[in-house]
Structure 1
Amino acid sequence: MYLDQGRLILLVCASLLACSSRFAQATEADPAQVISTPHAIQTLDGSYLPVQTLEKTVTDLMTRSCVTGLGIAIFNENKIVYLNSFGWRQKEQRLPLNVDSVMYGASFTKAVFATMVAQLVQEGILDLDKPVEQYLPKPLPEYDKYRDLANDPRYQRITLRMLLNHTAGFANFRRLNPDKKLMLHFMPGSRYAYSGDGINLAQFIVEQVTKKSVGDLMQERIFNPLHMLNTSMTWQEHFNENLAFGHDDKEKILGHNRRSSVNAAGSMDTTISDFAQFIQSLMQGKILNQQGKDILLKPGITINSVTQFPTLSSATTQDNQAIQLSYGLGWGLFQTPYGKAYFKEGHDDGWENHALVYDDKQIGIVLMSNSANGDSIFKELLEALIKDTYTPWKWEGYIPGACAVGEGVK
């Protein structure tokens, strides 16, 4: 009797040790295991979406639209409750995407940069409404990159707030202008026009004031405190160990640009796991307290353009008046019956990203895709996974679509 009990105890202990070992191996192989995933995700309308249904929806949409790879993070009660990846990081090599695969953040960079700027504003280091020229020891056009503005005195009106809420008057990039020169297309502060050149001028001002590289500032203030170990403003050699490649609309590999210079408009590499940590910290008021979030997410300009791109189109619409579409510092904003929401996209050849947070409901989602087709399923994913029906998907250019017959994720 006692011998049998002893054997039973030994068997139970051995079983527990084996289970513990398997769990440790699974955690090491897939950091998503660290998160205690619920059986269902709470959505905006108060209903619950079973995880099994969520994952079938994702894989069905990816197959329909030839989306090569997709990372997803979902937040309930201001914390990550679901973190997963689907598809391939390098399809031709049959290398699966995982939550620590390094992906291109694209214009997610702008949102993180703006968050860091809000910290500096809160600390009194920067003033959003002070003309940027007043931060400099000499007139802005005396710096090489800004000589083109010498004959347009309107540049003297530009503030950091205008640069960060895309109202400074620049094209997205000067290379898109007919003569490839930097120019103001309208009076600064008068309308919205998304501009990477505007963000890059904000970077120049921040670096002049702080005497530090924005790369170093982001590392010190955002990436290191949040343990974003696979995130950087420039290429790191260890990224090669788990690297995602961008893919075109036919799922052919485009590669991954190894950026050597810091660009606040879009040089950040990151992972779905790391970026989810950033969003969670922002939702919880850790990387910015409530005062800082109020600075970051204060509506600065109402948006009435028909679409976000092309940025300088003068066509207007009232379609987004009901949601009060606007822009804060580096983040788009809108209002819904569920309260306020903030969002940011990231686009480049072979990369499509979207982050959305419903602040009052404490619900959010991040989508990161290494596929040119990624944004063709974003509208449906937002609706299906968190019941978001207010995102201005037409303005975003998120047009649902299927790939040609015979193609798809395999």
Structure 2
Amino acid sequence: MFKQHLFRNFLMLIGLGLVSLCQAQNQKITTLDGQKLKPEYLTNQLEAIIEKVGIPGISLAIINNNEVVYHEALGITNTETKEQVDKQSIFEAASLSKPIFAYFVMKMVEQGKLDLDKPLYQYLPHPGITENSKEDAKLITARMVLAHQTGFPNHSNGEPIELAFKPGTDFMYSGEAYQYLAAIVGMQNEVGWKKDLNALFQKEVTQPLKMPHSTFVWDDYLAAHKVSGHNEDGSPNPNHPRPGYWDGETFNSYSSLHTEAQEYARFIIAMLRKEGLKESTFETMLAEETVFSEDNPLRQQVGQTGWGLGFAQKKGPDHTMHLHTGNNHDFQAYAMFVPEKDYGLVVFVNTGKMIPFLEELYKVIGPQF
């Protein structure tokens, strides 16, 4: 009798598992404009798009109701080896490094390690400012760095930095400023700006968000799973650190995050659910810190209205899209989320063809940018 009872329970568990599996297979994806798509239809369309555009490999995730409802990895890791991309394949996030670093910075602010509005020179004077910009550089704060208001160039390439404008008065996208802030975060925590800073980042961000393989520095998992980037002619580049590119040990807050779509989507979900930071901190991050003028090129070309602390913004009649692009040339990335719709999208490709890919994707799931 006891064995029969156990057997009935076992059959019941199998039945529940089959029901759950069927529900997952039949779950439809809701697009930002309200379309309902079957996962297999979207996968077929993605396969056709990457073939048409000439994209070697892709990792893509879609978020509905603050959950990942679709995750797919397609194509090949390398046009020479023809090895298949899979859901463990790792891509370069490029500038999608910046928003998650901003989230990390806000953790430091909440812990009292950093003041968002304290002049950064009081922590660490920047050693590369030209003489005629030194006084204005004393105005720069972490808030200005995250909102791209410092006047720093995107990259100084070792040259002295002359500010383009008085900090806090205009917008200029700058990875250089982000790296200055990373050095200060490392100093404040007494960990430098290499592997120990990455370990702190993982402790504070990726471990709580269940992003076990996302890293700013090289590790064994990357060595086993990173795909190759591809040049304009389709030829692959080495998929490991190399001289003149990235040494694998430096925490480049503006560009060296390595991850894949489902893991990065967990960060986007944290932004949607407001997890890991105080409510007031999320309000600060998502407020439009920089408001673009009508003649701003980003406003004119793509409709972006401003920038918060980490993400760009595009305000519509009934919602605000928070977005960021990434471009390491042989890798490109894109992520966006819309809090009013509980919706998000994350895409990584191992080529420089993100724009034509998104143009084709729009035809299937509607505007995403």
Please, what TM-score do these two structures have when normalized by structure 2? Answer: 0.85
SS in 2 for 1:112: helix
Q: Check if 1:340 corresponds to 2:320.
A: yes
What are the equivalent positions in structure 2 for 1:92-131 lying under 5 Å apart? Answer: 92-131=80-119
SS in 2 for 1:70: strand
Q: Which entry has the higher C-alpha Rg, 1 or 2?
A: 1
Partner of 2:291: 302
CA distance in 2, matches of 1:341, 1:251: 32
Superposed CA deviations along residues 145-196 of structure 1, whole A, max 9, x for unmatched, are x233344211111111111111100111012xxx932221111112111111
Partner of 2:128: 147
1:338/1:361 contact within 8 Å kept: no
CA distance in 2, matches of 1:181, 1:38: 58
Amino acid at match of 1:363: Y
Which of the residues 335, 345, 351 maps onto 1:355?
Answer: 335
Partner of 2:121: 133
Partner of 2:229: 246
Partner of 1:202: 181
SS in 2 for 1:154: helix
Superposed CA deviations along residues 249-294 of structure 1, whole A, max 9, x for unmatched, are 3321112242221111111111223212222222222233432211
- Aligned CA distance change for structure 1 residues 74 and 37 (closer, same or farther; 3 Å): farther
Structure 1 gaps of 5+ residues are 1-5, 24-32, 309-316, 392-410
CA distance in 2, matches of 1:331, 1:104: 18
CA distance in 2, matches of 1:86, 1:147: 44
CA distance in 2, matches of 1:148, 1:124: 27
What are the equivalent positions in structure 2 for 1:236-385 lying under 5 Å apart? Answer: 236-258=219-241, 259-304=248-293, 307=297, 318=300, 325-382=305-362, 384-385=364-365
Q: Check if 1:182 corresponds to 2:161.
A: yes
CA distance in 1, matches of 2:264, 2:141: 28
Partner of 2:203: 220
Superposed CA deviations along residues 180-223 of structure 1, whole A, max 9, x for unmatched, are 32221111112111111010111122223232343232111111
Amino acid at match of 2:350: N
SS in 2 for 1:367: strand
Structure 1 position 71, deviation (Å): 0.8
CA distance in 2, matches of 1:52, 1:238: 29
Which of the residues 71, 77, 88 maps onto 2:76?
Answer: 88
Amino acid at match of 1:280: I
1:66/1:249 contact within 8 Å kept: no
More displaced stretch, 366-375 vs 202-211: 202-211
SS in 2 for 1:147: coil
Amino acid at match of 1:76: N
- Aligned CA distance change for structure 1 residues 362 and 134 (closer, same or farther; 3 Å): same
CA distance in 2, matches of 1:241, 1:46: 39
Structure 2 gaps of 5+ residues are 242-247
- Aligned CA distance change for structure 1 residues 237 and 52 (closer, same or farther; 3 Å): closer
Amino acid at match of 1:65: V
SS in 2 for 1:189: coil
Amino acid at match of 1:201: Y
Partner of 1:398: none
Count of residue correspondences:
345
2:104/2:204 contact within 8 Å kept: yes
- Aligned CA distance change for structure 1 residues 351 and 47 (closer, same or farther; 3 Å): same
CA distance in 2, matches of 1:104, 1:319: 26
Structure 1 position 371, deviation (Å): 1.3
Amino acid at match of 1:249: E
1:353/1:375 contact within 8 Å kept: no
RMSD after superposition: 2.7
Partner of 1:400: none
- Aligned CA distance change for structure 1 residues 121 and 382 (closer, same or farther; 3 Å): farther
1:247/1:350 contact within 8 Å kept: yes
1:37/1:81 contact within 8 Å kept: no
Q: Check if 1:160 corresponds to 2:139.
A: no
Structure 1 position 383, deviation (Å): 5.7
